[in-house]
Amino acid sequence: MRTSNCDMVIVGVGGQGVILISEIIGRAALKAGIPVRAAETHGMAQRGGSVINHTRLGCVYGPMVPEGGADILLALEPAEALRYGRYLSTGGVALVNTTPVLPTTVTTGQFRYPDIEEILAPLRGFARVIAMNATEIAERAGNPQTANIVMLGAMSRFMPVDEALILDALRDSVPRKYIDVNMKAFELGKAEVSG
């Protein structure tokens, strides 16, 4: 039996705004009266390490998505998509920002950063992969920092929450002077996914 209506795993690099995405979803779910559970990464990994956030809609159990159970994997960084690919369910959706953030293990030459296609191929084997350059799209929206909101816009197509409520929650969650650019980022991200 399913124990959650929609399980999402949101991954990226510390500092990319992973938690904000989940916060907005949670607030939207609250407005919709849907029970929501989330687990966040704080502390050491936030210093440029790899971070993962679990978000579960319509769930009254623990906050963690079981491995192989995520309906959606949202990756703000491509290598992180593959690192946490095991969470994604067969037939699930992977939304991937294609702009890499190089770890110091790569900049110092100890490891090679794989090509985007090498990263996406294993995921394509069992899931629907939607890749976009969210960082570039965010720049078009007016601020490269809003790549997370671009991805949220794309993900909104797959979430069982009313879009109007997500936008409400978005407005509540960002400083007033940044609302417009975030709204734009959301719209551009949504437009990347055809219905």
Partner 1 sequence: MREYLLGNVAIARGVLEAGAGLAAGYPGTPSSEIIDTLSGIASGYDIHIEWSVNEKAALEVAIGGSWAGTRSVATMKHVGLNVAADPFMTLAYLGVDAGLVIVSADDPYCHSSQNEQDTRRYAQFASVPCLDPADPQEALDMTIYAFDLSERFSVPVLLRPTTRVSHARSDVETGRIPEGRRRGRGFIKDPARRVSLPVNARPLHRALIDKQKDIERALESAPWNRLLLKGDVGVIASGIAGLYAEEALANLEADISLLRIGTYPAPSRKIEEFVKHTSKVMVVEELEPVVEETVEIVARRCNPELEILGKRSGDIPRAGELDPLTVRNAIARMLGMSVTAPRELPGTEIVPPRPPSLCPGCGHRAAYYAMRKAFGKDAIYTNDIGCYTIGISMGTVDTCLCMGASITIGSGIRFGGDERPICCCIGDSTFLHAGMTGLLNAAYNKSRMTVAILDNSTTAMTGHQPHPGTGVTATGEETVRISLEEIARALGAGHVECVDPYNLEESIDAFTRARDFPGLSVVISKAPCRILLRRKGERFRRYRVTDECVGCRQCVEFSCPAIEFDERAFINQLCTGCGVCAQICPKGAIEVVK
Residues in contact with partner 1 by CB under 8 A are: 1-3, 13-14, 22-23, 26-27, 29-30, 35-50, 61-69, 79-80, 82-83, 85-86, 88, 102-109, 111-114, 118-119, 121-122, 144
> Given phi > 0 = left and psi -120 to 50 = alpha, else beta, which region is 58?
left
Could you tell me which of 139, 13, 22, 157 has the C-alpha nearest to residue 79? Answer: 13
Q: Which is nearer to partner 1, 125 or 164 (CB)?
A: 125
Residue 158 CA, distance from chain mean position: 12
Q: Which is nearer to partner 1, 61 or 191 (CB)?
A: 61
Task: Return the HEC string of 81-113.
Answer: HHHCHHHEEEEEEEEEECCCCCCHHHHCCCCCC
Least distance (Å) between residue 192 CB and partner 1 = 23
Q: Which is nearer to partner 1, 64 or 181 (CB)?
A: 64
Least distance (Å) between residue 131 CB and partner 1 = 16
Least distance (Å) between residue 81 CB and partner 1 = 9
Q: Which is nearer to partner 1, 40 or 187 (CB)?
A: 40
Least distance (Å) between residue 149 CB and partner 1 = 18
Token representation of residue 154: 């794309």
Helix (H) or strand (E) holding 193: none
Tokens 């950063």 — which residue?
A: 113
Q: Which is nearer to partner 1, 144 or 193 (CB)?
A: 144
Residues 138 and 103: beta-carbon distance below 8 Å: no
Least distance (Å) between residue 191 CB and partner 1 = 25
Rounded CA separation 181/148 (Å): 12
Q: Which is nearer to partner 1, 13 or 149 (CB)?
A: 13
Least distance (Å) between residue 113 CB and partner 1 = 6
Helix residue ranges, H only, 9-107: 18-32, 78-83, 104-107
